[in-house]
Amino acid sequence: MQTDRQGVSAKRWSAGRLAAAVAVGALLAVMMAPGVAGAETASTISSAKDAKLGTILMAGDTPVYILKSSKAACDATCQAQRPPVLLPQGTTTATAGTGVDASKLGTTTADGGNLQVTYGGKPLYWSAKDTSSGKPRGVGSDKFGKWALVVTKASSSSSGGGSNPGTGGSSF
């Protein structure tokens, strides 16, 4: 068996490099916004129809969420699972796509000085749980608070003023 100068087998060294590469790849996959081509940025916020809730906000082909009843700020630990919807460098305003009220779009300064998109004054986030286009899986609670989809127009089957507690929608 070949060994390097420090007596570590070449086979074990290669396995270590492979494990490191896999770990880096997994970290990058979590940090990338699902459904957004290799980035955590979006300049257009659009809408799509959800059978249970009605019309929900999207960035790219991925649903976006707000943090309701926050227990703590969505810090770096939170953002590993909930990447903020950031504007691309050099862009200062988000564009309202079909079904989106442009007057409710805005920005806030996120960590690192980047501009994070807001809707109705609430910062928007993606969810790492959303692994397929258009299928929201990021509704729920964690140590940071309750996460909800942004509903711009409630479906006739949703209950109580446009918010369906069973699916975590929040009307705007």
User: Six-digit token pair at 25?
Assistant: 């790849």
172: confidence class by pLDDT, cuts 50, 70, 90:
low
Would you say residue 162 has pLDDT above 60?
Answer: no
Radius of gyration, alpha carbons of the chain: 20
| The predicted structure's pLDDT at residue 157 | 61
| The predicted structure's pLDDT at residue 160 | 44
Residue percentage of the chain with pLDDT more than 70:
66
DSSP 8-class letter at 111: G
Q: Which helix (H) or strand (E) holds 16?
A: helix 10-31
The Cα 161–Cα 150 span in angstroms is: 13
Please give the distance of CA 45 from its chain centroid, rounded to a whole number: 13
Look up the pTM and report it: 0.70
DSSP calls for 34-71: TTSTT-SB-SEEEEEEETTTEEEEEETTEE-EEEES-S
User: Six-digit token pair at 158?
Assistant: 């949703």
User: Six-digit token pair at 56?
Assistant: 């929900």
* pLDDT tens, residue by residue, 31-45: 344 443 334 899 999
| The predicted structure's pLDDT at residue 171 | 63
State the burial class of residue 29 (Cβ atoms within 10 Å of its Cβ: 0-12, 13-18, 19+). exposed
User: Six-digit token pair at 6?
Assistant: 């420090």
| The residue type at 116 | Q
Q: Which of 27-41, 57-71, 102-116 has the lowest mean pLDDT?
A: 27-41
Indicate the pairing of strand 105-109 with strand 115-119.
antiparallel
